[in-house]
A and B are shown apart, each in its own frame.
Chain A
Amino acid sequence: MSSLAQPETAPVARPSSGVRRVGRLEPAALAGVMSRDVAIFGRYWKATTFSSIVQPTIYLLAFGLGFEKFAPHLLHVSYVPYVATGVVATAVLFSSAFPGMFNTFIRWQFQRTYDAMLAAPVDVEELITAEMLWVSLRAGVYGVAPLLVGFAFGLAPEWGMLLVPLIGFVTGFGFVGFGVTVAAIAKTIDNFNYITSAVLTPMFLVAGTFFPVSSLPVGVRQVAYVNPLYHCVQLVRDASLGNLGTADLGHAAVLLAFALLMWRLAIRQLGRRLID
């Protein structure tokens, strides 16, 4: 051991030197937490990639076969862009809300990973922000998969599609924050069933994903308007089909506000549980 070269400078600065002042949301802390996520991702990226391709394929095949039987003349031309863009939003929802709930709960309660990290120079705000950033970056990237599958089904490429990863990222940031908040409040991991069935499933159906919101009764339609996923669907669809307009600024504003709100809420709720 003693033969090893010792670094010229100590890895950490002395307090007296005042060289290293730690602040809020330090990039080094965020990168450190995310490097763990990257290492873990290295172990399961194949499964994630597989499902992100297969799922939209199945949706497109199923809707294609189903609709052709019922209304071949009506939907033959338009179901692919409609469903492909709808699946982008559902992919983003599930790839962010679920990790938000399950990964958070498991790492915090079962593996105690968060306890280990908080003993290092990382604070709660950095830990949760980094975890949320990682999940939403991944959701943004994988959210593009349904469009790629859509190309194989005849979807036309469009410049606006380049915005889709960004839309997916912002939406994913909101939903992972929602998941983290749920995990912080949940007593057991089984509690997530309530959220999945009573919140996420209706949210995913009442968002204009597979059928237009305009076909819903007025009361239900109101619900769709406060559903962040609805705004994600609209924005993705307008960007991907070349229909961006002023209304999309509104959709973007809702998604940003949702992301910001969930970020602060997640930090507050989980922070309360992590630090006693």
Chain B
Amino acid sequence: MAPGAAAGRPPGAGRLGAAGSPAISLRGVFKRFGAITAVNGLDLEVPAGVCFGLLGPNGAGKSTTMRMLTAQTLADEGTIAVLGFELPRESKQSRLEMGVVPQLDNLDVELTCRQILTVFARLYRVPRAERHVAVLRALELANLVPRAETIVKELSGGMRRRLLVARGLIHRPRLVLLDEPTVGLDPQVRQELWSLIDGLRADGVTVLMSTHYIEEAERLADTVAVMSAGRIIAQGTPAELVRAHAGEQVLEVYGPPERLAQVGELASEQGWSSRRSGPAVAIMRAETLDGLAPEGVRRPANLEDAFVALTGEEIE
């Protein structure tokens, strides 16, 4: 990967909409599928120029939210604006200036890398004279120059994902939506994608990334919004979220199952926020515990602690 491959453009210069207006704004958005309410009164504002992480467990409504931003899913209630355009009416206009990297691989398996990128350069209205350079730039971005004439069927999983990302960046969008960008990838490919995303932010591109990987959000996002059951339940920088919801320290108590059960009981008696964490019980805000605190290992609180405290859900 070549992070910062889109260099040559000063961060955010001339690429932002009206000064100070958010890149994405959702207000009171609801979306129901039959009896299921996927998005339940969502309010979300993504400022221009930041990397914004939408963190939530599976089924929290992240993908539905992403699809609503391209008007591929229509909200039942509420208002959505993307890059200053009102959705769904002006969605096509906003899609001109944004790139989308879907969670599911939807590449044309029968086409070559170059063909796919060329088709999307056309769809994104890259002028004919610039198309060739745009395709080359995207191939370089995805480290696929030697594979330009290879059909997708013959690419590895990591290469396909990189091509998927490059396809969404072919027109140098000022807003990029990444839906679970590294799900199912091996650690090395994940690292490559992370540096690519970081490079985008450095170029002033607004990034909205949904993920259920805590580490991904912690490493990349300037702001994280925690989504659960179709709405945002907390928002802030990763450090703010940790401080507000898990405190400074976590006490991890190890022991046989009976011991862990005892500690769990003690915690609920004392009103401590705690959770089972693998072979241990983790007690939040360990810095506030008095003499009753059991023996254990103290470690700094992290985003995972905050996430579990917020959603009540364990995460892989």
Contacts and interface: CB of A to CB of B under 8 A. Distances in A.
Nearest to A119: B100
Interface in A113-140: 113, 115-123
B2 interface: yes
Given A22-B92, A111-B109, A121-B92, A4 B137 contact: yes
Contacts of A39: 111, 115, 118-119
A141 B15 CA distance: 46
B74 to A, nearest CB: 6
Given A40-B108, A113-B108, A121-B92, A4 B18 contact: no
Contacts of A36: 108, 111, 119
A193 interface: no
A121 B95 contact: yes
Nearest to B96: A121
B213 interface: no
Q: Name the prevailing secondary structure of the B interface residues.
A: loop
B90 to A, nearest CB: 8
B97 A12 contact: yes
A7 B93 contact: no
A39 B122 CA distance: 13
B172 interface: yes
Given A15-B17, A120-B123, A40 B5 contact: no
A273 to B, nearest CB: 11
Contact of A274 (B33, B72, B110): B72
Interface stretch (A25-33, A204-212, A238-246): A25-33
A213 to B, nearest CB: 41
A11 B98 CA distance: 12
B133 A7 contact: yes
Nearest to B17: A15
A10 interface: yes
A6 B8 contact: yes
A15 B83 contact: yes
B111 A11 contact: no
A19 to B, nearest CB: 11
B72 A15 contact: no
Contact of B104 (A2, A35, A112, A117): A112
A6 B133 CA distance: 9
A20 B96 contact: yes
A117 B133 contact: no
Nearest to B66: A119
Given A1-B5, A15-B93, A276 B73 contact: yes
Contacts of A31: 122
Contacts of A13: 96
B172 A11 contact: yes
Contacts, number: 127
A22 B5 CA distance: 29
A16 B111 contact: no
Q: Name the prevailing secondary structure of the A interface residues.
A: loop
B7 interface: yes
Contact of A275 (B9, B72, B102): B72
Contact of A6 (B9, B17, B102, B118): B9
B106 interface: yes
Contacts of B109: 111
B134 interface: yes
A112 B167 CA distance: 15
B33 A11 contact: no
A274 B100 CA distance: 17
Given A1-B5, A22-B92, A275-B73, A32 B18 contact: no
A13 B134 CA distance: 16
Nearest to B93: A22
A275 B115 CA distance: 26
Give the one of A6, A13, A31 with max B CB within 10 A: A6
Contacts of B125: 11-12, 20, 28, 32, 121
A247 interface: no
B50 to A, nearest CB: 19
A16 B174 CA distance: 14
Nearest to B97: A12
A22 B96 contact: yes
B120 interface: yes
B70 A118 contact: yes
Contacts of B85: 15
Contacts of A21: 93
B72 A118 contact: yes
Given A1-B2, A1-B5, A12-B96, A40 B110 contact: yes
B14 to A, nearest CB: 8
Given A11-B124, A121-B95, A123-B92, A43 B104 contact: no
10 contacts: A1-B4, A15-B17, A15-B85, A21-B93, A32-B125, A36-B111, A111-B106, A118-B70, A121-B124, A276-B74
Given A1-B7, A12-B97, 11 more contacts: A1-B141, A2-B8, A7-B130, A11-B171, A15-B17, A35-B122, A36-B111, A112-B104, A121-B124, A275-B74, A276-B74
Closest 8 CB pairs of A and B: A112-B106, A32-B122, A32-B123, A119-B100, A1-B5, A120-B123, A116-B106, A121-B95
